A and B are shown apart, each in its own frame.
Chain A
């Protein structure tokens, strides 16, 4: 089915372990984003990508790594998970520069718990 899918939807891990959250979109959108959602903070941008092989830091990039070798995939890796990275992670995509349309298409989120 067309859309944007995230996996896994739920993940429990331990401090220090590496975790990768996957994001796949079928629209061939140029722009892709990773946000984290924490109570009282709304959504905060971790990393974004304007095209394949082009990525840049957002507001809270420390402890995260991204790659985008293909337009449709934008995985997010926590190299050594910490408890402060317990959160709900949302991947989003956009065909155009978000300032122009404001419309991001979101996945359903990945809930990560770090023990």
Chain B
């Protein structure tokens, strides 16, 4: 079975400094990987996705993530944090279940705080 681990439950940065949110996955085959963002009292929104094309994936709002198979990682980065980036971020991996329908497996989430 596949799984995903977000290494930090909370990350705090100052506005204008880089953001790094770490995600490791386990998979018995080539996975599809995603990052979702959840702003307070809102639903989740897709930030970016990796589906076996380019290993460096660019998403919305200046975020990007790099798929590293050797390290089984898919870390999310942004060069310069903005106050509006404060949210919870979920790393997600795809999986297949017995019925043949695929599903998404969510990590526990990383709460990003951005300070002035």
Instruction: Please list the residues of chain A having a beta carbon within 8 angstroms of any beta carbon in chain B.
Output: 4, 35, 40-45, 48, 50, 56, 58-59, 90, 92, 97-109
Contacts and interface: CB of A to CB of B under 8 A. Distances in A.
Given A102-B46, A109-B43, A45 B103 contact: yes
A102 B43 contact: no
Contact of A107 (B43, B51, B90): B43
Given A42-B90, A90-B44, A104 B101 contact: no
A99 B46 CA distance: 13
Contacts of B46: 102-104
A109 B41 CA distance: 8
A104 B109 contact: no
Interface of B: 9, 32, 34, 41-46, 49, 51, 90, 92, 94, 96, 99, 101-104, 106-109
Given A40-B108, A42-B90, A99 B102 contact: yes
Given A40-B108, A43-B44, A98-B94, 7 more contacts: A97-B102, A99-B96, A100-B51, A102-B92, A104-B44, A109-B41, A109-B43
